[in-house]
Structure formats: structure tokens, C-alpha cells
Amino acid sequence: MSAAALRRPARWPRVAWAESAAIWHPASILTPLVIFLLVAGGSWDQPLTEVRDLALLMFFFPLLHWRGRPAPGSLDQAVPVGSAPYALVRVACGAAAALLTLVLATLLNLSTVRAGGYPASYPAALILAGVGSYLLGSAAVLGGERPGRVVVVLLLPALLVADAAGVELWSWGRTVPPLPGDTAGPAPFRPSLTLAAGVLWLAAGCVAVCASAWLGGRSRRLARARAARLSADRTAPVPAAALAVPRRPVTLGVVAARQLALQAPGMGVMLLMAVLAAALSAWRGPRGGLLAGGGPLMALAMVAFFAPVLVWLDEDRRRGDWDGARAVDPFRRVLLQALGGLLWLQAAVLVVLAGCIAGALRTGEIGTLAQVPGWVLPGVPLAVAGLYSLGTFWRMISGHPVEAALIGWLVTVEVLFMLDGMNEWGAIGRVLAPSHAFAAVRYMAPVQAWSPAAAAIWIPLCAALAVFSIRRRVRRDLHRTGPASAPHVARPAPLRLGEVL
Amino acid sequence: MTFPALPTRLDGAELAIHTRAVSKRYPPDVLALDGLDLQVPTGAVYVLIGPNGAGKSTTMRILLDLVRADRGTASVVGIDTAAQPALVRAQIGYVPEVVDTAYGWLTVRGLLKHHAAFYHAWDWAYADALCKRLGLRMDEHFRALSKGGARRVALVTALAHRPPVLLLDEPTDGLDPLARDDFGALLVDHMADAPTTILWSTHHVHEAERMADHMGVLRDGRLLLQAPVDAVRSGLRRYRAEVPDGWAGAPGLNGDVLVRARAGREITWTVWGEERHVAERLSASGATVREAGRLSLEDAALALLRAGEAA
């Protein structure tokens, strides 16, 4: 490869050696291990289960390795080597880091194995599959301009295929023989993952990386050609009325359309995941049954609460004066942005519900559409709107979105628990307690406890809280934002909870 | 040293941009603007000059209602900026000091399309012509552009809807010398097509000199001077004179001298005032005036800022 690319075979080892520093970078090994230890913490009854999870998670670690930006920086580009081979060297170094991480994790986890019964090849097969998973993730990162989303998008069909083939990663674990004194007999161990399968995963990863490195340059050329074709068929003259001073600002409909369009890449992934969940639910029926409120409906509460982080993801990174100077009222723009996120979310929710209902009809859980209970429609969309509003509230009062969302979740749960003391107020209190408003997403109360009256009170309250926090945030930014030339003060100052309330 | 009384008002002109006693303080305690009375006549090319931290960018941000003034009011084409921010912004094309966007993943074409949606008067044919002239590639992702490339995109977004008011905050920063030169020509062509009022903040005064017809010098949030360029050129002169031994000075000039420098018996003054009167007072003090010359805008701004610093 080096001879072909450079005609100086001696240089490639030096390039690889220089790049290998990435293997020892804390983000490459330490972070996955910390995550692993946090998640695992030594599991007695399912040894190697966490290594299996880590192997699956390795799909996402290329994002960490390259900090979400596969394109080399200007200094990297100055390295006198071909871009595709150089990308392969970088992937190889990342794969080496992945290998080391998996080996360390396996060694740590082996100490928890109290009983035998594993094929000797099983740990090695897991490690090979993990490295293969890393390579598949690298291929996705190399091939996409927005790697985070590409990774998620590629993972979905991959999981679907694996699921259809019956070799999904999550079925690879085993249950070890019971502790002494347990009455149940030892569970039979027939892992679907063999050494040959591990080698196959690894090979698939290698092929995918090579193909992606080659196709990357080709797709950029195609994109250029597409953009050239876009060039203007928009030569219609500007009407004289539009040039009159004062110029009119555009309508809110136009602003809303732009907000929806800008959210499409991020929220579209969420919608895609909803389609996947809906397809599986429609095919097999909702996990746990529709009327029990199980399966995908349970995840909707978390998705709804944390969706605002995704809605404001781009702007959290860098929103400058240039964006702010567009001809739109800032409060209305942010409000429309929040509404746009809610629309995307509700679209996903409706897709999931449609899948679940279709599955329930197919499996005979319900006979007709008329039997769909009220907590499903409109209960679930309403509860999702309420949780999204609460997530928006926390997002608006903080300059640190993820931390705010996590702390906000905990605080919200605590506050709602406290408010559930209303259950003690007799019949009215039992209906109006907040858990009854959110019961449709199985939040603190069984779905049957969902109450339209509670929803009619709590959901508008949550929405009002979100609107109020948006208004305060916009006003606060107007008065406190520092000079744009000083980036350390340009970020809007976080609101204090006391100031909002 | 006292600072001379220089003109800071442009009364009588129809104003496109007007701020009245605008003050702004950033936390924890940075006074960015201190009672600013900016008056930009309609159709003027107004160059705003000042050192870093003088308040130039803050002035523009207040005009766009990106930050709100603590005191005072601001208006653009007669519209109050705080009362109707969307309407005000519809009148303005803006090139910020730092060109950055939350949507760097968009291509140049995508970003222009996004920006165009907010302006009824957006002219795609003109935008395409500007892109060609500035050498922009439509398929490139914004975040992959150089600093100069990003600034070119910002120029296109500012000009392509032919706004009645242009706010340019260090527009040539990051451009190569050739592109800076082209930028001037681009603005001249643009103004020939569309009547525009320009508020142009810059450190490179010589670039704006050929187009500017008004100037303001800002220091510590206050205007040291605000006047037509012609008035500055005629009012501000540099005098070189020889003085006799034991010369006692020219007390009559003290209030109007901005900068003075002495080398042996030769003294150079930069003085605000009518040339005839200044020369008479110098001669009356015993000095022999050898030369009285005009200053370039850059030298004038430098003299004003030095004097402001000393005061």
C-alpha cells in the first residue's frame, strides 16, 4: 500500500507510529473502560454480558475517537500521504485501541465467572465481534458528512437484519449455573456467537471500512455535481413591492417551515427509529401487549423529556450574531423552534402508536379500532407533549443542556412524586394527581389510572411553564449576552431557577 | 491635556440610523457604550472607527436588537429597534465581526437558501452573481470554509436582498489583499444598483476612505467626533513650524491641539480649527509656520484616538 501510494515504503511505518499515539489517548481506552465499569460493576449471574454490551457499543466509539469529525484538520491534511490510505491507518489505530479495551474488559470480567461451561473460544469471539463492530462504526463515520447521524441510521437496518437472522447481539449472553442452594438446575449454554462468526464480523468490518474510505471521495464528487445542478433556475425578478422601504418581515409560517427543515436531519433520525419500532410492533405485536402499555410506549417518556436537547443541539454549540440577525422576532423564533420539535416528536409518537395498534389488531389483543383505549389516544400524545414541555423548561433555564436535562429529570420526578400527595385528598385528588396525567406513558402509575381531567390540567400547565421559560431566556439573553468578539462571554448566561420562578 | 470640542452631531440631515443616549453595560462591570448619539444620514457611507473594545460591535448589535441597551433608544429607518426587532432586521444586511453559524453542516447553497427564506427581496440571480464574483463554491460545507470564505458567504447574505441599510463589522477581516480590494469594488457596484446606507466599522480606515462620506470616532463607548469626512479633512490639519529659542508656547491654541511633537526647534501640531486662524495664532506666538497639511482619514483617526487617550 505504501509503495503504491508513496513510492517510499519506509514512510508508512513512521506515519502509523505517529498516529498510534491515538491508541493511548484517554478518550480511546479510558472512557470506554470507565463506561464499562460504571455499567457493569461486576455481574455475578451473567458474566461476559457486559463485554457483549461493550462489543455492541464499540459501534459508536469511532465518534469518540475522532471527536465526531472524521475529516482531518488542516494540519493532518498536510501529512504527505493519500487521504484514503491515511484514513485506513487512523482506523487501524482506533481498532487497536478498541482491541485493547475489549481485552482489558474481558480480563476484568473473567474474574466474575464462578462456573465453567463456556466454550474456550467465546471470549475471543466476543473480542473479534467487538473490533468488527468498531470497524463497522468507523465505516459509517468515514462515509458521512454528519457521522453521528449516519452511525445511528446505519445501525438501525443492521440491527433489523441481525434481528431477522436471529443472531442479534443481545441474545449472545448466557445464564451461569445457579448459586449453591438454588433449586433450579444449570441453564444450558448454547451461544449463537462462535469464533467463526466473530471472524466474519471482523472481516465484514474490514471490507466496510475499505469500501467507505474509497467511496468517501467519490460521494463528495457526486455531491459537487448535484450542487452544480441546483444552480439557479431561480432567476425570477424580485417584485417591486418587496423592495419598498420599510421592508416587510416574513410570515411566521415561513419561519416555522425553516425551523422544521433545520430540525429534519436530527429529528428525522428519531422518526426513523420510530418507524423501526413501529414496524417491529406491527409485525410481532407490541412487546408486553398494547393494553399493558409496554414495549416502545415505555421509552416515549424518556424520549419526550430529552428531545429538547436534540432540538437545540446545533445552537448549543455555536449560535452567533449572524444567525441572530435574521429578520425574525427572537421569541417567536425560539417558540416556533420548540413547536417544530414537538411536531417531529408527535409524528414519531403517532407512528409508534400506529405500529402498536396494528400489532394489537394483528395478534387479536383488540378486535377493532374502537377498542383502542383513551389512555392510548389521546393519552400518549398528551403525556408526551407534557414531558417535552418540561424538558424544554429545563433546557431553557440552563446553559449546559445535557447536565440540565439529567438533573431536570431527577428533579421533575421528585417534584411530581411530592405532588402525588394529592392522592390523599380524596376522590378529586386521586383524579387530579400529576401521575394520572402522565400515566399513559407508564410514568409512576399504571396506564389504567390515566385521567383526562388530570391531563387537561397538567399538560397546559407544563406548556405554560415551557413558554414562560422561553420568554425569560430570550429576554435574559438580550440583556446579558457579552460582546461577540469575546467568545468566553458570548455564550448566553444560564438562568437561575430562582430567576425563572 | 484637555480634549478639543469637536463636532459630534449631524443635525439637519435625514437619518437612517439614530441612537439617542444609548448606554450599555455588560456584566460584571464593563461599560461598552456611554450615552452614544450616533447619527447616520440616509444614503451615507459612515465609517465608525475605534480601538478594540470601543463599543463598535455593541452598537451594531443594539441596532439589530441582538442585545438590548440599558438606557436610550435606537432606530433604523425610523423603526425602534427594541419595539419591532423583526421589522428592523428586515431592513438590514449584516456582516458580523465573527462569522459563525449553528448550521455549519449546511452547504453554502443550503445556508443561502435558509437565509433567503427570511427576506422577501432576496434576489437569487444577484446572489449567484455575487457567489461567482467572490469565488464561492456552492457545494462546500460552511464549516469547512476558511475564515475568508465564511466572510464571503456573509457578504452574499448581506447584499443579496439589497437592504436599505448595511451594517458591516470589520467586513474585510480575514480576506486576502486582493479580496479586500475586490470588496471595495463590490460595494461600489452594489451602491450604484441599490440605494444603501452603510455603517462600516473597521480598523483598516484606508480601505473605507475612498467611499466614506461620514465618519465617527468611538472611544470607551463615547463619540469623540462625528462629522462629514469633508469637514474632518478641512478642520483637522497638521502644522509644522519652527520656534525661536525660549519660545513661550502658543496659549491660544491649547484647547484645539490634538497631538503635538517636538524635535529640536521644530514642532508639529495636529490641530482642529480653521487653517487661517490657527496659522495666525502660531505666527503671533513667534513660531514660523513651514507647512500646513491635510491628514488622511487614517491619520486623522489616529490623532483623535491618541488625543482621546491622553485626555
Contact A483 B119 (CB under 8 A): no
Q: In the numeric block, which cell numbers belong to residue B59?
A: 452598537
Backbone phi, then psi, for B225, in 5-degree steps? -155, 145
Of B1 and A461, the one with more pLDDT: A461
Q: With an 8 Å Cβ cutoff, is A485 touching chain B?
A: yes
User: Grid coordinates in use for B85?
Assistant: 426587532
B contacts of A237 (beta carbons < 8 Å): 123, 125
Picking from A15-24, A397-406, B18-27, B59-68, which range would have the lowest pLDDT averaged per residue? A15-24
Instruction: Determine the residue among A258, A317, A326, A328 to mutate to test chain B binding: the one whose Cβ has the most chain B Cβ atoms within 10 Å.
Output: A326
Task: Point out which residues pair with B267 in neighbouring strands.
Answer: B241, B262
Question: What does the pLDDT read at residue A411?
Answer: 87
Say whether residue B32 is in contact with chain A using an 8 A CB cutoff. yes
Mean pLDDT along residues B175-202 = 89
pLDDT over 90 percentage in chain B: 49
Could you tell me the three cell numbers for A305? 423529556
pLDDT band at B173 (very low <50, low <70, confident <90, very high): confident
C-alpha cell at A320: 452567533
Q: Do A258 and B57 touch (CB under 8 A)?
A: no
Q: CA distances (Å), B260 to each of A349, B5, B129, B242, B305, in order?
A: 75, 17, 50, 13, 13
The three cell numbers locating residue B55: 463599543
Chain A residue with minimum CA distance to B91 = A247
Peptide bond into A246 cis (omega under 30): yes
pLDDT of residue A484: 44
Residues from chain B that touch A255, judged by Cβ atoms under 8 A, are 118
List helix spans (H) across chain B: 56-63, 85-90, 108-116, 124-134, 147-159, 177-193, 205-209, 229-235, 275-284, 297-310
Here the cell at position A282 is: 406491527
Which of A196, A201, A199, A192 has the alpha carbon at shortest distance from A174? A192
Q: Select from A247, A258, A322 the Cβ nearest to the Cβ of B120.
A: A247
Whether B28 and chain A come into contact, CB under 8 Å, resolves to no
pLDDT at position B58 is 94
Between strands B236-242 and B288-294, the pairing is antiparallel
pLDDT of residue B203: 87
- Interface check for B130 against chain A (CB to CB < 8 A): the answer is no
ipTM value: 0.86
Contact A323 B103 (CB under 8 A): yes
Strand partners, B40: B17
Chain B positions touching A261 (Cβ under 8 A) are: 114
Whether B147 and chain A come into contact, CB under 8 Å, resolves to no
pLDDT in tens, B225-271: 999 999 998 889 999 989 888 888 877 776 778 888 888 889 898 88
B70 contacts B24 by C-beta, under 8 angstroms: yes
pLDDT given for residue B79 in this prediction: 96
Closest alpha carbon to B207 in B160, B170, B232: B170
pLDDT of B141 > 60? The answer is yes
- Residue numbers in chain A where pLDDT is lower than 70: 1-11, 22-50, 66-83, 109-119, 143-193, 216-236, 287-288, 294-296, 317-319, 442-444, 480-501
Partner B contacted by A223 (CB < 8 A): yes
Which residues are CB-neighbours of B151 under 8 A, at least 6 positions away? B95, B99, B171, B172, B173, B174, B175
User: In whole angstroms, what is the distance from residue A63 CA to residue A68 CA?
Assistant: 5
Q: How far is CA A218 from the centre of its chain?
A: 28
Residue B57 touches chain A, beta carbons under 8 Å? yes
Partners of A242 on chain B (C-beta within 8 Å) are 120-121
What φ, ψ does residue B286 adopt, rounded to 5°? Answer: 105, -5
Give residue A307's identity as a one-letter amino acid code.
Answer: A
Q: How far apart are CA B91 and CA B208, in angstroms?
A: 22
A494 at interface of B, judged by CB pairs closer than 8 A: no
Could you tell me the three cell numbers for A17?
507510529
Q: Are A106 and A175 in contact (CB under 8 A)?
A: no
Cell of A203: 472481516
**Is any Cβ of chain A less than 8 angstroms from the Cβ of B162?**
yes
Among candidates B64, B96, B139 on the partner chain, residue whose Cβ is nearest the Cβ of A227: B139
Write out the three cell numbers for A132. Answer: 468488527
Which pLDDT belongs to residue A447? 82
In this predicted structure, what is the pLDDT of residue A414? 82
Q: What grid cell was written down for A209?
A: 471500512
Q: Is A67 on the interface with B (CB under 8 A)?
A: no
Q: Which of A474, A411, A422, A415 is nearest to A453 (CA)?
A: A422
For testing contact with chain A, the best of B66, B138, B155, B157 (most A CBs within 10 A): B66
Q: Would you state the pLDDT for residue A175? A: 42
Nearest to A272 by CA among A422, A190, A151: A151
- Check CB contact of A261 with chain B, cutoff 8 Å: yes
Q: Which residue in B62, B79, B95, B119 has the most chain A C-beta atoms within 10 A of its own C-beta, making it the best mutation to test that interface?
A: B119
pTM as predicted? 0.73
| A111 part of contact set with chain B, CB < 8 Å | no
Cα A195 from chain centre: 31
Binary contact (B105, A479; C-beta < 8 A): no
* Closest CB from B85, B97, B164 relative to A330: B85
Q: Is A33 exposed, middle or buried (0-12, 13-18, 19+ CB in 10 A)?
A: middle
pLDDT value, residue A176? 44
Which residues have C-beta within 8 Å of that of residue A382, sequence separation ≥ 6? A437, A440, A455, A459
Are A145 and B154 within 8 A, CB to CB?
no
Which residue in chain A has the smallest CA separation from B79?
A: A246
By the CB < 8 Å criterion, does A487 face chain B? Answer: yes
**Contact across the interface for A247 and B119, Cβ inside 8 Å:** yes
A268 min Cα distance to partner chain B (Å): 15
Q: Residue range B130-157: average pLDDT?
A: 89
Residue B20: beta bridge partners?
A: B73
Bridge partner residues of B238 (DSSP): B270, B293
Inter-chain residue contact B89 with A254, CB threshold 8 Å: no
Chain B residues in contact with A330 (beta carbon < 8 A): 65, 85
Q: How high does pLDDT run on average in chain B?
A: 89
Give the phi and the psi of residue A252 in degrees, each rounded to 5.
-65, -25
Assess contact for B57 and B48: CB atoms under 8 A.
no
A475 burial (CB, 10 Å; 0-12 / 13-18 / 19+) is middle
Residue A190: phi, psi to the nearest 5? -130, 80
The residues, any chain, with a CB within 8 Å of residue A353's CB and separated by 6 or more, are: A297, A376, A377, A380, A381
Q: Give the minimum alpha-carbon distance from A237 to chain B in angstroms, rounded to a whole number.
A: 7
Q: How far is B267 from chain A (nearest CA, A)?
A: 40
Are B138 and A330 within 8 A, CB to CB?
Answer: no
Cell for B268?
508639529
Task: Give B103's contacts in chain A (Cβ within 8 Å).
Answer: 262, 314, 323
Count each helix (H run) and each strand (E run) in chain B, helices first. Answer: 10, 15
Q: Which residues of chain B are within 8 Å of residue A326 when distances are taken between CB atoms?
A: 89, 115, 118
Evaluate whether B124 touches B116 at the Cβ level (below 8 Å). Answer: yes
The answer to whether B123 and B93 have CB atoms below 8 angstroms apart is no
C-alpha cell at A452: 383526562
Sign of the torsion formed by the C-alpha atoms of A452, A454, A455 and A460: positive
Q: Which residue has the cell 471482523?
A: A202
Q: What SS3 class is residue A365? A: coil
**Contact yes or no for B95/B145 (Cβ under 8 A):** no
Give B35's contacts (C-beta < 8 A, 6+ positions apart): B21, B22, B23, B71, B72, B221, B222
A264 part of contact set with chain B, CB < 8 Å? no
Residue type, A400: H
CB contact under 8 A, A223 and B139: yes
Q: How confident is the model at residue B69 (pLDDT cuts 50, 70, 90)?
A: very high
Separation between Cα atoms, residue A385 and residue A64, nearest integer Å? 32
- Do the Cβ atoms of B138 and A227 come closer than 8 Å? yes
DSSP of A311-332, one letter per residue? HTHHHHH---HHHHTSSS-HHH
Order the strands of the B266-272 sheet from edge to edge: B257-263, B266-272, B236-242, B288-294
| Residues of chain B positioned with their CB less than 8 A from the CB of A325 | 64, 66, 89, 92, 94, 96
Say if the Cβ atoms of A483 and B57 lie within 8 Å: yes
Cβ contacts of A168 within 8 Å, gap of 6 or more: A159, A162
Q: A246 and B87 in contact by Cβ < 8 A?
A: yes
Give the one of A230, A248, A258 whose C-beta lies nearest to B120's C-beta. A248
Contact predicate A390/A465, CB 8 Å: yes
Chain B residue at shortest CA distance from A258? B114
| CB-CB under 8 Å, B77 with A248 | no
* Of B271, B259, B269, B267, the residue nearest B309 (C-alpha): B259
Q: Which residue out of A222, A321, A336 would a mutagenesis test of the B interface target, given it has the greatest number of B Cβ atoms within 10 Å?
A: A321
> Cβ distance A290 to A278 under 8 Å?
no
Q: How far is B62 from chain A (nearest CA, A)?
A: 9
CA distance B79 to A348: 42
